[in-house]
Structure 1
Amino acid sequence: MQAPEVKISNKDFDNVLSLIKESLFALDAEIDAVRERPAQDTFENGKYTPKKSGDEHDYVFKSTNSSIRFAEKIKARLGERNLEANFVDANEDEIILRFTENVGPMISSVDLEWENDFVLRKMQNQLMTIQMREEDEQFARIARLFFHSRTPLDEGKEVARKLYETGDIEV
């Protein structure tokens, strides 16, 4: 059985397209703001945990900073050295970061900086995809969500309510 074809009015289509464009503009501004003020933290007492591969240098830190798990690139400053780190894993109070080089058995303190724009960029990509496809079903869903477009079911409910109020129908 094939799903019924969804029709959307030109007005609702234009409203949804306008909403998507406004949302993309707002997301661009938010992403720029996040990039101007990246997230920062200082991790201390990182212990080296050897891996099988010689180019993987993982360090375990005590931290509950959950926002770092979505960072795609982490800038790490150890004294005068600038390195790059990547998030590997986290549990309740530990975070594992992978550094580009071995900096010894322990990292006493490292200043970290990362852009927290992962969710914003994913949302932006999804909106761009919806905008490019211009599928009536997706646009109709968005129109119902934001513009409370009346559906045939809503109209039927309204007729039934009026009939009930006038006493022309019993429930």
Structure 2
Amino acid sequence: MTINAPSKPTGLLYLGFRLPRYLYRWHMGWLLGHRMLMITHIGRKTGHRRQTVLEVVRYDPLTRECIVIAGYGVKSDWYRNIQVQPAVEVQVGRQRYAPRQRILSFEETLHLLDEYQQRHPRLFRGLMRVIGYTYDSTPEGLRALSQCLQGVAFRP
């Protein structure tokens, strides 16, 4: 089974994905707790600072490591940018730090998606549908999905 990454969001979905960024800009990112983070990265073509808010799939309070998933896979602009130059800053809750980043392996991403799906089955299916993936909830489907998506870990 092969799953292709959907096209980038447009319209209301695009606006909805951008709204949490304003909470961070208004110094209210703490309202999102450890469920969302904002990364500051440098545009690979323009060299301008960019900011993207992402859902945290796993947070480790001991190491403060946050793991996120590139929902549009390697096509995600923020993901392509951090491949060229590592993220400059991460904000999660009230914390800000210069991160060390690590790209997760296929197996780590698969395990992460499986874990997330088991914790939040309805949310996971809903997110995949909203983003535009055709996911059938089978182990083969999850494996195919994890080949499209890419996990990234950030820690101070």
| TM-score normalized by the length of structure 1 | 0.29
